[in-house]
Structure 1
Amino acid sequence: MTRVLHVLDHSLPLHSGYTFRTRAILKAQQALGLDVRGITGLRHGETHDTANPQDIDGLIFHRTPGAVSGPPGVNEAREMVALSRSIQALAKEWRPDIVHAHSPALCGGGAWRASSALGIPFVYEIRAFWEDAAVGNRTGTEGSVKYHLTRALETQIVRRADAVFTICQGLRDDLIARGIAPGKIGVMPNGVDLSLFGDPPPRDTQLGEELGIAPGTPVIGYIGSFYAYEGVDDLIAAMPLLRREHPQARLLLVGAGEMEPEWRAAAASLPEPEAVIFAGRVPYDEVERYYSLIDVLAYPRKRSRLTDLVTPLKPLEAMAQRRIVAASNVGGHRELMKHGETGFLFAPDDPVACADALSEVLDTREEWDAVRERGVAHVRTRHDWACNARRYQDVYHLLLADVNRGDGRAALTAPA
């Protein structure tokens, strides 16, 4: 049985798009007969752990103990060394055949060091470029020294990896533009564990009453993290315009994050602040209750390198839930949906365009069933983890065959 060690920034029991993707990957690989474990770096945080390793939902996660410090650059180098040592210590008792690291580059750097010392293949998967994510969450500046150093580190790790995956074509194209061989880079798109999504539940009447949403009310929803690049401020600004045509429309925001105080203030300043409902962060196993109240899921991401290059997960989950999706016309969304067929696109950074699109969607309910069915079919054929995870297995087999032949770290044509 092939053993695969996934090297992660953080994992369950923390909840994020990152951890849910990780869970889906590991569960799908288990179903294919692989023996998988995860190991997290120092940024996962010891305060979230009651044991090392942890068994969560039938998945085993190991932790890197301790802490490091130092000036910028030195601190990160020490983190990679600590992670590498932790991987090598684990490998003495649980011998992995493949080390599969997931971005950011700190995970890749630590995993590369360890895989080189252990003499086993190293796979690196990029979910977003670390430097662009820092700009998106307002902890970095595009074009700064740190931005360029982070980008250079990522490129170096990609060159050293035996195989590379990205979550979308935009990231792959960017790496190719840096001079990385196209045959080395496969695409593993964001996906959905369809075993978690059956028939959508009926409207949760009790929850509707608790939130003050009467039956028949047009509900626009956003479920996700509260980061600036998500553009929910534009969605809030669109509500007075939307309510000119649909006076009863409400906006339901489910989630939390750094932008919550600013977005609450923006909603409070509206002429009709009751149009916006903040539900807060909810447990993952209760999210379906909120989906049941929502007519249209809106994802108004602002235009940036991050949103043009990276595909989000939530629109796919909404399609799997047979919900209508309206999203800003940025590159990441265009990879997931086709306007008028599986969802609806509107100009980014433009509350007027957002309001006009949402009004048009609400006015064309007779088309919704067909859009829903095409959306579900799209997820089943392109974004089902039970099928897509086989691509990993194909690459692992190629790498291990090279090792067994004594070819070393041979060039790989990864499936795109």
Structure 2
Amino acid sequence: MMHFLTNLRLAVGTAAEHFTDDPALLLLHISRLLPARLVQPTARLVSSCAGKESYSSSALLTGLMSGEEQEVAGRLEAALLRGRLSANQARALADVSLVANRPDLDDAFLARATEARRFRAAQARRFWYSGAMTPAVEILENAGGGAERRQGRRLAAELRILEGWRPEPAAVPFEPVPRHALDVLTNSLPHTASGYAHRSHSILLAKKQARWETLAVTRVGYPVKVGKLKARNRDVVGATYQRLLPSRLSATMDGRLQHQVEEVLAIALEFRPSVLHTTSHHVNALVTRAVAEVIGIPWVYEVSGHLADTWAATGGAEARGSERYTLFQERETEAMLSADLVVTLGRAVKDNIVADGVPEEKVLVALNAVGGAFLAEPLPPAEARVQLGLDPKGQYVGTVSSLVTVSSVVTYEGINDLTSAFGILAPRHPRLKLLIVGGGVALPSLKEQARTAGLRERIIFAGRVSRSRAHVSHQALEVFVVPRRDLRVTGSVTPLKPVPALACARPFIASKLPALQEVVSDGTNGLLCNAEDQADLAARLEMLLADSQQRVRMGRNGRRTVLKTRTWTSSAQAVGAAYERILERFR
């Protein structure tokens, strides 16, 4: 009971902070943590009661919760034309516009909100959104309200970190134990089921099999900060994850990182690792480097993506010239240069790392891979569908994915393009169905798209499922599809999701992007289509659906290659061998 009360206090404190900084965004985040079966009907009820013409901030937020982004944008535009808005109404609608990723509308509402309460806070949010961090901090420096002053201090701390602030742990005597590896992670199983979490977990398990003693520690406040109020201080799910769950957090990010360094150092003194291993982004590196330096052991930085580009995808081309983007890239490069080894997951990412000035010999590619049940002989599609309660006589295409959103109109995964391509094929393929497995913030808008297109009965949204059910879901498909959008980040970062599908001997269709071409060989284990081209995707799908022999051939080719070159055991062996090389230099 005590741990629950501690977690509750931590969660309430976190929510209060976010409510001060950005109340509209907080409400949207809370809706995404709650079960969709509760959120969606409630949001639709509130929206319908308010009426389609309503431009109250609460009605517009519930519209965003229901996936009605385009309709919400239209109502915001209509509100601007009405003319009769109080300053406080305009400021509230400015906040909604920013959450809806419409900075142009935010600017228009802010122009009418200059006399509103907490106008400076709304202005700071707008600057911060665009990457203008110094103006955001400066505008709150002399704020009158206590809430705005607290918001200003928090933003100033984040800016300090991006400008090069470092934590300062106290020196301690230390004696490492050989073949002990401590991992510092952002999140993990069982509370987060992302590709990041699965990759970290699989490598931890494989390192254990290779006779490394492993322990992982997650960021301070996780997983309570993502709504897991029953979380314990330690989870053992094959790998062991230590949590850092104080009853309250420091009010600023630099204070939290200083606290995290001290906690990780205490864990290291007990566990006595010979190497520290962390994953991007640079904040994890900041903590890990500080601990490694004070106890005198090497540390490894695993770069799983380009989070600066992830952020910049919301702001368009101008975001890459912003203060935030520039500082973020500087800190990432600094982290890579100071690490003893940089690990990444594909050739495209490695090329970018080397282009940033990191010596090539310092960068190890540890490919995304498979293990466990995926190594066993896969089921025939019809048998897998029976296990899932699906029609064994149907034809199923689809994907198993995290349905993340970059902005209200841009998604990473391009599942909306897949849905549109399915709409092209559905009239002439009556047995064809689309299976989408996974959850995320894009799910409500995808369901709305299916409803509007009249395809709700033929598109199955399975939501988040267990790992074993996800495994069977791969096998239930005739064709696995990864229709990623053409963004800078998707062009360079190879996702995990293609590899399990190939291990299940399923042919693949993927967007023609450099990162995906590392996995999908056009005509050998699948087909490539033009990114964001729904007609081309539909044509490729139809080509494979018409030729069962080609599907079998491609599936066999894909599985053969994965079993030969992409197992977690082989990736962990490569990482372990690299550990030994850097440890040799330390001796």
Q: Take 1:291 and 1:393, find their aligned partners in 2: how far apart are those partners? A: 30
1:64 is paired with a residue of what secondary structure? coil
Q: Take 1:134 and 1:48, find their aligned partners in 2: how far apart are those partners? A: 28
Give the counterpart of 1:104 among 281, 284, 299.
281
1:181 corresponding residue in structure 2: 359
1:25 corresponding residue in structure 2: 203
Give the counterpart of 2:310 among 118, 133, 138.
133
Which letter does structure 2 place at the counterpart of 1:152?
A: E
Q: Take 1:255 and 1:362, find their aligned partners in 2: how far apart are those partners? A: 23
Which letter does structure 2 place at the counterpart of 1:388?
A: S
2:201 is paired with a residue of what secondary structure? helix
Query: Structure 1 pair 337/79, CA: closer, same or farther in 2 (3 Å)?
Result: farther
The percentage of counterpart residues that share the same residue type is 27
Shift of 1:24: 0.8
Q: Take 2:361 and 2:430, find their aligned partners in 1: how far apart are those partners? A: 53
1:348 corresponding residue in structure 2: 531
Q: Which is further off, 373-382 or 229-238?
A: 373-382
Query: Structure 1 pair 165/69, CA: closer, same or farther in 2 (3 Å)?
Result: same
Shift of 1:12: 1.6
Shift of 1:137: 7.6
Query: Does the CA-based 8 Å contact 1:225-1:257 persist in structure 2?
Result: yes
Corresponding position: 1:330 with 2:510: no
Query: Does the CA-based 8 Å contact 2:223-2:231 persist in structure 1?
Result: no
1:42 is paired with a residue of what secondary structure? coil
Query: Structure 1 pair 204/401, CA: closer, same or farther in 2 (3 Å)?
Result: closer
Query: Structure 1 pair 255/166, CA: closer, same or farther in 2 (3 Å)?
Result: same
Give the counterpart of 1:154 among 332, 340, 345.
332
Question: Which structure carries more relative contact order (alpha carbon 8 Å, separation 6+)?
Answer: 1
2:147 corresponding residue in structure 1: none
Which letter does structure 1 place at the counterpart of 2:523?
A: G
Shift of 1:303: 0.6
Q: Which is further off, 133-142 or 143-152?
A: 133-142
2:148 corresponding residue in structure 1: none
Which letter does structure 1 place at the counterpart of 2:484?
A: R
Matches within 5 A, 1:9-408: 9-14=186-191, 15-42=193-220, 44-46=222-224, 47=228, 50-57=231-238, 59-66=239-246, 68=249, 75=253, 77-135=254-312, 141-194=319-372, 196-202=374-380, 203-204=383-384, 206=386, 210=389, 213-227=390-404, 228-404=411-587
Query: Structure 1 pair 44/343, CA: closer, same or farther in 2 (3 Å)?
Result: farther
2:457 is paired with a residue of what secondary structure? helix
Query: Structure 1 pair 257/335, CA: closer, same or farther in 2 (3 Å)?
Result: same
Query: Does the CA-based 8 Å contact 1:11-1:44 persist in structure 2?
Result: no
Q: Take 2:415 and 2:341, find their aligned partners in 1: how far apart are those partners? A: 36
Query: Does the CA-based 8 Å contact 2:386-2:392 persist in structure 1?
Result: no
Q: Take 2:204 and 2:308, find their aligned partners in 1: how far apart are those partners? A: 26
Offset from partner CA, 1:204-244 (integer Å, 9 cap, x none): 45556x4xx43332211111110211000001111121224
Give the paired residue count. Answer: 396
Q: Take 2:258 and 2:538, find their aligned partners in 1: how far apart are those partners? A: 50
Query: Structure 1 pair 335/137, CA: closer, same or farther in 2 (3 Å)?
Result: farther
Q: Take 1:35 and 1:206, find their aligned partners in 2: how far apart are those partners? A: 41
More strand as a share of residues: 1
Which letter does structure 1 place at the counterpart of 2:287?
A: G
Q: Take 2:236 and 2:455, find their aligned partners in 1: how far apart are those partners? A: 47
Q: Take 2:229 and 2:347, find their aligned partners in 1: how far apart are those partners? A: 34
Query: Structure 1 pair 53/272, CA: closer, same or farther in 2 (3 Å)?
Result: closer
Query: Does the CA-based 8 Å contact 1:136-1:229 persist in structure 2?
Result: no
Shift of 1:384: 0.9
Offset from partner CA, 1:373-396 (integer Å, 9 cap, x none): 110111112211112211112211
What is the alpha-carbon root mean square deviation over aligned residues?
2.1
Offset from partner CA, 1:295-326 (integer Å, 9 cap, x none): 11111000111111101111100011111211
TM-score, with normalisation over the residues of structure 2? 0.64
Query: Where does structure 2 lack aligned partners over 5 or more consecutive residues?
Result: 1-177, 405-410
Q: Take 2:245 and 2:308, find their aligned partners in 1: how far apart are those partners? A: 26
Which letter does structure 1 place at the counterpart of 2:311?
A: A
Which letter does structure 1 place at the counterpart of 2:214?
A: V
Return the index of the structure with the highest Cα Rg.
2
Q: Take 1:272 and 1:62, find their aligned partners in 2: how far apart are those partners? A: 45
Q: Take 1:152 and 1:359, find their aligned partners in 2: how far apart are those partners? A: 46
Offset from partner CA, 1:168-196 (integer Å, 9 cap, x none): 11111111111111111111111111554
TM-score, with normalisation over the residues of structure 1? 0.89
Q: Which is further off, 378-387 or 142-151?
A: 142-151
Which letter does structure 2 place at the counterpart of 1:361?
A: L
Q: Take 1:49 and 1:154, find their aligned partners in 2: how far apart are those partners? A: 34
Shift of 1:293: 2.5
Which letter does structure 2 place at the counterpart of 1:311?
A: T
Offset from partner CA, 1:275-304 (integer Å, 9 cap, x none): 312111111122233234211111100011
Offset from partner CA, 1:358-385 (integer Å, 9 cap, x none): 0011112111222111101111122111
Query: Does the CA-based 8 Å contact 2:507-2:552 persist in structure 1?
Result: no
Q: Which is further off, 46-55 or 154-163?
A: 46-55
Q: Take 1:241 and 1:141, find their aligned partners in 2: how far apart are those partners? A: 35
